[in-house]
Amino acid sequence: MSYPHPILAREGWPFLIGGGLAAVAVTALAGWAWASPLWLFFVFCVQFFRDPPRTVPVGENLVIAPADGKVIVVEETDDPWLNRRALKISVFMNVFNVHANRSPLAALVKQRWYNPGKFLNAAVAKASTENERNALWLQTPDGKDITCVQIAGLIARRILCHVDTGHELARGERYGFIRFGSRVDLYLPLGTMPRVTLGEKVSSGSTVLALLA
């Protein structure tokens, strides 16, 4: 899916247009003092919905970051979507990170699941199983299975996913967005070699998270 507007995410246009018009109107009618909170909101939205282009690494078996943020989980655990043991890598996004989500590898979307849920702090472990979430089962051309899960957070109230079953994703392709703070979990086949550590900051579409076995 091509995305022709890499500077400001299209998912933020309603907030940017609405906030900007409201700020201009209040400034004209009541002055800067009354309008200052609206201008602060507008500036916040500009930084939150920024969506810069990324240089996608080239190489076999590379798994790249699906989101900007901090690595908060690197562990072997159960994949609740494909009912298997897997290597889990989780990236937590705060409100200052870029929130566009990109495919971690070239793959076919085999299935998509959406589960409504709570809005707990996305940094806590139980957010993976209790929060609102959208999961994609991705299968590489050589048959390796990966689960990529968008998870809403304490403030985030809208998960956006622009692909569905049958869509072929390129590595680094932009496929979704989560508004206002969240996380993304990856469940990778056992034997995958992690290339990141806890606390490391990563960039969507450009940081290599792991090497598939």
Q: Is 90 a catalytic residue?
A: no
Confidence of residue 96 (pLDDT cuts 50, 70, 90): confident
Identify which has the larger pLDDT, 75 or 9. 75
Both 104 and 34 in one domain: the answer is: no
Domain check: are 37 and 101 in the same one? no
Q: What is the pLDDT of residues 51-75, one digit of tens each?
A: 888 889 998 899 999 999 999 999 9
Is the entire prediction scored with pTM above 0.85? Answer: no
Residues 16, 75, single domain; the answer is: no
End-to-end, the C-alpha distance of the chain in Å comes to 28
Q: Let me know whether 205 and 181 are in one domain.
A: yes
In a domain, 57, yes or no: no
Helix or strand holding residue 129 (H, E): helix 127-130
- How does pLDDT run across 111-166, given as a tens digit for each residue? 999 988 665 655 566 656 667 889 999 999 999 999 999 988 665 557 889 999 99
* The pLDDT of residue 174 is above 70: yes
Residue 1's pLDDT is what?
Answer: 44
Residue 39 has pLDDT above 50, yes or no: yes
Top pLDDT among 138 and 178 is at 138
Strand ranges (DSSP E) for the chain?
A: 62-64, 69-79, 84-93, 100-102, 107-115, 133-139, 145-152, 159-161, 168-169, 174-178, 182-188, 193-194, 201-202, 208-211
Domain identity same for 42 and 107: no
Burial class (CB in 10 A: 0-12, 13-18, 19+), 41: middle
Percent of the chain with pLDDT over 70: 87
Task: Provide the pLDDT for residue 190.
Answer: 96
Same domain, 36 and 87: no
Q: Mean pLDDT over all residues of the chain? A: 86
Mean pLDDT on 72-92: 96
Q: Is the pLDDT of residue 4 over 70?
A: no
Q: Which of 182, 203, 204, 206 is catalytic?
A: 182
Instruction: Please indicate, yes or no, if residue 170 is contained in any of the structural domains.
Output: yes
Q: Is residue 161 part of a domain?
A: yes
DSSP calls for 14-74: HHHHHHHHHHHHHHHHH-HHHHHHHHHHHHHHHHHTB--------STTEEE-SSSEEEEEE
156 and 178 in a single domain? The answer is yes
**Does residue 142 lie in a domain region?**
yes
Question: Do residue 30 and residue 122 come from a single domain?
Answer: no
Q: Is the pLDDT of residue 7 over 90?
A: no
Q: Is residue 3 part of a domain?
A: no
Contact 197, 74 (CB under 8 A): yes
- 158 and 88 fall within a common domain: yes
Same-domain status, 40 and 91 = no
Q: How many domains does the chain have?
A: 2
Which residue(s) pair with 133 in the sheet? 115, 151
* Same-domain pairing of 112 and 180: yes
Q: Is residue 55 part of a domain?
A: no
Write down the pLDDT at residue 115.
84
Please give the average per-residue pLDDT across 162-171, as a whole number.
94
Contact 199, 183 (CB under 8 A): no
Q: What is the CATH number of the domain that holds 72?
A: 2.70.70.10
Domain holding 188, by residue range, is 62-211
Q: Are residues 143 and 190 in the same domain?
A: yes
Contacts of 19 (CB under 8 A, 6+ apart): 38, 41, 42, 45
pLDDT of residue 175: 93
> Residue 168 above 50 pLDDT?
yes
